[in-house]
Structure 1
Amino acid sequence: MTDLALDHVRRMARYNRWANNRLYDACAMLSPEDYFAPRPSFFGSIHATLNHILVGDSIWLGRFTGSVPAHLTRLDMILHEDLATLRAAREAKDAEIIAFTDGLDSAALSGSFTYRNMRGDEFTDPLFPPLTHFFNHQTHHRGQVHGLLSHAGVEPPELDLIYFLRESGQS
């Protein structure tokens, strides 16, 4: 794998942290009633969607590292009951993601890994495409929360990668 691919996954890890910080800042502007309110979305609320992103990230990062937390048994789990503890867990997970991508080298990124899905089926895949999926999954669900924020009366933040690149000076 090229240095460009390594640079890309490291940039995406930092973009993920940046976008999450902006999204959580916007969510903190909501009243608890609006934050937890049932909404027409796949996971049913802003809080549940943010929990899902953390669940998905924890599962995939665990697959990449060979240590999926055993307590993660459903994609709709509520890991944290309030925004403050969810945000703290999110920040910790983002730090883990950055540490993981910073620890990769070309050989690891070009290599394969073996994991089990939630049904117990075993797969061996090259690392790079699922790692790309990992970042795409985060962006997909952040976009859902972004839309839910606009319906809740809070101006959604700019989350596009280009804004991160300009703000951070990365290219």
Structure 2
Amino acid sequence: MGRQQQYALMGRYNRDMNQRLFAAASKLDEGRLHRNMGAFFQSILGTLNHLYVADVMWLKRFAVGAFAGQSHLDGVALLAKPSALNEIIYSDLDTFLPARKHLDVTICHWTEALQEADLDRPFAYKNSKEADFCKPFGLVLQHFFNHQTHHRGQLTTLLSQQGVDVGVTDLLLWIDELEPVVAPLS
């Protein structure tokens, strides 16, 4: 499996895990979704919003940077630029879920369309404080997915503290099973 296929797998895993988290969060009332639980982004809803904000920020960088003009990212350019990493864009799950689903589908289509050579290209961008960076795109994309996994881990803990089980979250379940290799008789 090449790196592009691995990132396409990560896109599907990201999409499915976000759907699980939203399904789990929907079991809670508004008060429990907004409750400050001492997490870095305070609440379950705050952490869900942070994931969305960070994804939008990165996708906007990709859409105007190395991947400008790729049709899979056209819709991202139309999204409002978040003002802060802790911005609450959506205060309820009913309006949030369609936006999250749309973003996840965009990520899936985009990662499926990436080429292996894209992953080795230099990627120049500005961070949220307008500092300039230039890094190998494949490693930036790895960070993009690692960031999501990191905060989803926090969300599973916050949901568990509220008595909600998200279920198995291991990437291993998204990896296709192979036929066992049988060693030849000697």
Work out which of the residue numbers 8, 26, 29 in structure 2 matches 1:28. Answer: 26
Q: Which moved further from structure 2: 139-148 or 66-75?
A: 66-75
What is the percentage of aligned positions where both structures have the same residue? 38
Greater radius of gyration (CA) = 2
Indicate the SS of the match to 2:124. Answer: strand
Distance 2:106 2:14 in 1: 12
What's the TM-score once normalised by structure 2's chain length?
0.83
> 1:97 matched to which residue of 2?
107
> 2:116 matched to which residue of 1?
106
User: Is 1:147 matched up with 2:147?
Assistant: no
Q: CA deviation at 1:112?
A: 1.7
Indicate the SS of the match to 2:2. Answer: helix
> 2:49 matched to which residue of 1?
51
Residue-pair matches, total? 166
Q: CA deviation at 1:50?
A: 0.1
Q: Which blocks of at least 5 consecutive residues in structure 1 are unaligned?
A: none
Structure 1 residues 55 and 14: alpha-carbon distance in aligned structure 2, compared to 1, 3 A threshold: same
What's the TM-score once normalised by structure 1's chain length?
0.90
Q: CA offsets, 1:84-105, max 9 Å, x none?
A: 1111111011011112112211
Contact 1:6 1:104 in 2 (8 A): yes
Q: Which blocks of at least 5 consecutive residues in structure 2 are unaligned?
A: 65-76, 179-186
User: Is 1:156 matched up with 2:169?
Assistant: no
Q: CA offsets, 1:16-57, max 9 Å, x none?
A: 001111111111111222122121211110000000000011
Q: CA offsets, 1:109-168, max 9 Å, x none?
A: 221221111111111211000100000000000011100011111123221101233xxx
Indicate the SS of the match to 2:125. Answer: strand
| Moved >2 Å (runs of 4+) | 67-71
Contact 1:60 1:134 in 2 (8 A): yes
Contact 2:27 2:164 in 1 (8 A): yes
Indicate the SS of the match to 1:120. Answer: coil
Q: CA offsets, 1:39-79, max 9 Å, x none?
A: 12111100000000000111111112215956312100011
User: Is 1:133 matched up with 2:143?
Assistant: yes
Task: Calculate the aligned-residue CA RMSD, in Å.
Answer: 1.7
- Paired amino acid for 1:89: A
